Structure 1
């Protein structure tokens, strides 16, 4: 049953309600292509079942069989269409008009605080559906303290693309996301939240747009150019987490280098086959989570299917330009004045310990460390992340009072 939430009367935008359904013809074509997709020959590496080499051949064989015989795409569609979905035409400098998709829970409360939740890679707006489900059960439109906006980022998922005639960048994406919130009637202020790519866009929004009053991140790292604070202030546990992070940076970042330096080749090759896409994305979805609570194969197949049916992968690689910028000592801008909230999930790929975050960011208003959860916090620990965001928003709510 679809959840009903009203559109705020302040919205000046022309919203188009949207329902996502893949045509049956495309599902049949996908099944045919998947059946014919070849799995590479056995090698020493792909028979080791060792994450340091990537996905194993055995895993890919079993995942393909499940995809063909025991996977229900329509069930994943239903979970998407359960929530109010919209599209809106956004005008941005240099890019012209672009269609942006978002799911939303709008409040009827006059003092509801707008929050935009932004996903990362390899993710989609669907990462936040568990959180939206919690909110829909906890509140009604009359009691919901927030307007919850969950977009498909530009060039991702159900949002449009301009990448065939202009390169999408972090700054352009941030501009579009800010304009989305303004066009929805939230020019008086909003909170930006994100992890991974979403965190980079949120930090740019905090620095560049006054409408962004506060921002909450579940990925924060030591930027190049920042003086490394003392290790003496860290606990043994924090040092161990940093060592694990350093190991991943030394062994697991090859994908970003390929994306950032050869986006055309990577995009065309990996998006040419369902199995190629599954191996490439599946590796990240398995490796980047808390190993004690991995994502289900059904979820992995659902997200990869979403990427396939929306032609996301080849157009979404602008996230990798961030890696090039960090290498060049030019990280995305970030505000050190506006209130910042940071939720650290200890099995994330990169972290910034609390003492370091407090030293670098005098505007750190909220911090919480979680022993459970990894890179995909909104999926792995939806309740915990939501609780953190709600506490942070309560702390900064006074800045939204008129």
Structure 2
């Protein structure tokens, strides 16, 4: 590994100089899928046959899954109209690093992250954690907004965006250890300590990232505050407030309907992670069908993700062999069957951004009743599960508003 002092000067000028009190070695990193891998991918995709026509896959009903016509058209675009190198360039515009985190149970774990480091002594460290079927790429539009708005000298925050352990460009400790939410939380906390933020940081997450963040809020004193864009009722919780607006009632009905029709994927992930991991990762087209369904359905249908974005996210999963490694759902489903929930602090400052087309939501009255530590709440009129990708400007404004309410928690000057 290269010592910090040997960082590439171009990268260093673009928010790439870490704090002076860093206690780990960082290796500057640039993503570059080999030409051989790209050729192999295209050959596999070309040879992947689309399944036969059935009544179900000819319907334009998202509750039945993606249509055969969509998959055929997406495959054609993936083969002939998609430029992976463009997305690589966008990733490499930002400072990317790899480091090794030593965990008390997992041992040595390779961790990738991208960052915007500030030169300000009072900059607030913030770690952003993605979920499934997403990656650190989800936060790049938000990071671009910050990089355009600030210089290294004016940026009020240190922005740390990792690939979760077992996801993307991060590795895993050993094949003999199941990756759990608590293990991931511990590794992410240690990453922040190693980067020099042991005196305190803020954690943000959605989807799986929100589960990891809530565990960090309880298990790790270094996590001083947390913001989520997914907050749900825990088993056994029954809010007494009935003060819901008509819009909140509609959102809840939509969420409850999805629980009845869209949760099967998680049960498969959780109960048969080996089988689904092997099957879906056997073909680019299989991966596109499985992940593409989520990227199509889980967003605000008024503003769907562009096909190019969907293909980029699925390509990243393919090139990094992420899917069979990413199935934390096994633990999540076990907890669901047992009626357990991951712990969440009700003392540390909490912020919650509600995007109406997310898979699960918590209305304001319920959030205020259940969380006396709720210091920020914002209900949006648009946006879905991938908030930082769908609505990066609004997402960033929420996070900054939340950070602005933390007062002297970080001794802001």
State the shift of 1:97 in Å. Answer: 0.2
1:193 aligns with 2:235: no
2:339 maps to 329
Could you tell me whether the CA contact under 8 Å between 1:91 and 1:97 is conserved in 2? yes
State the shift of 1:12 in Å. Answer: 1.3
Structure 2: distance between partners of 1:330 and 1:163: 26
- For structure 1, the residue ranges without an aligned partner over 5 or more in a row are none
Structure 2: distance between partners of 1:244 and 1:351: 10
2:348 maps to 338
For 1:76-100, what per-residue CA distance to the aligned partner results, in whole angstroms no more than 9, with x for missing partners?
1001000000011001122110000
1:110 aligns with 2:99: no
1:80 maps to 91
Structure 1: distance between partners of 2:299 and 2:155: 30
- Select the residue among 293, 297, 301 that pairs with 1:291: 301
For 1:350-384, what per-residue CA distance to the aligned partner results, in whole angstroms no more than 9, with x for missing partners?
00000000000000000000011000000001000
1:383 maps to 393
**SS at 1:155 equivalent:** coil
- Select the residue among 260, 272, 285 that pairs with 2:282: 272
State the shift of 1:163 in Å. Answer: 5.1
State the shift of 1:320 in Å. Answer: 4.6
Structure 2: distance between partners of 1:229 and 1:135: 40
Structure 1: distance between partners of 2:333 and 2:310: 25
1:130 aligns with 2:127: no
1:354 maps to 364
Structure 2: distance between partners of 1:247 and 1:258: 19
Could you tell me whether the CA contact under 8 Å between 1:245 and 1:349 is conserved in 2? yes
State the shift of 1:329 in Å. Answer: 1.5
TM-score of the aligned structures, taking structure 1 as reference length: 0.98
Change (3 A) 1:163 1:244: farther
Structure 1: distance between partners of 2:392 and 2:154: 20
Structure 2: distance between partners of 1:196 and 1:52: 20
1:159 maps to 170
**SS at 1:179 equivalent:** helix
1:34 maps to 45
1:62 maps to 73
TM-score of the aligned structures, taking structure 2 as reference length: 0.95
Structure 1: distance between partners of 2:53 and 2:265: 22
Structure 2: distance between partners of 1:77 and 1:43: 37
Structure 2: distance between partners of 1:146 and 1:319: 32
Could you tell me whether the CA contact under 8 Å between 1:170 and 1:319 is conserved in 2? no
- Select the residue among 372, 380, 383 that pairs with 1:373: 383
Q: How many residues align?
A: 401
- Select the residue among 314, 317, 333 that pairs with 2:324: 314
1:393 maps to 403
State the shift of 1:162 in Å. Answer: 2.8
State the shift of 1:334 in Å. Answer: 0.4
Structure 1: distance between partners of 2:44 and 2:122: 51
State the shift of 1:321 in Å. Answer: 2.3
- For structure 2, the residue ranges without an aligned partner over 5 or more in a row are 1-9
**SS at 1:240 equivalent:** helix
Could you tell me whether the CA contact under 8 Å between 2:106 and 2:174 is conserved in 1? no
Structure 1: distance between partners of 2:329 and 2:202: 22
For 1:55-90, what per-residue CA distance to the aligned partner results, in whole angstroms no more than 9, with x for missing partners?
100000000000000000000100100000001100
- RMSD over aligned Cα, in angstroms? 1.1
State the shift of 1:397 in Å. Answer: 4.0
1:256 maps to 266
Could you tell me whether the CA contact under 8 Å between 1:121 and 1:319 is conserved in 2? no
Change (3 A) 1:82 1:34: same
Structure 2: distance between partners of 1:242 and 1:236: 10
Could you tell me whether the CA contact under 8 Å between 2:239 and 2:369 is conserved in 1? no
Could you tell me whether the CA contact under 8 Å between 1:340 and 1:364 is conserved in 2? yes
State the shift of 1:213 in Å. Answer: 0.1
Structure 1: distance between partners of 2:185 and 2:236: 23
Structure 1: distance between partners of 2:291 and 2:96: 25
State the shift of 1:322 in Å. Answer: 1.6
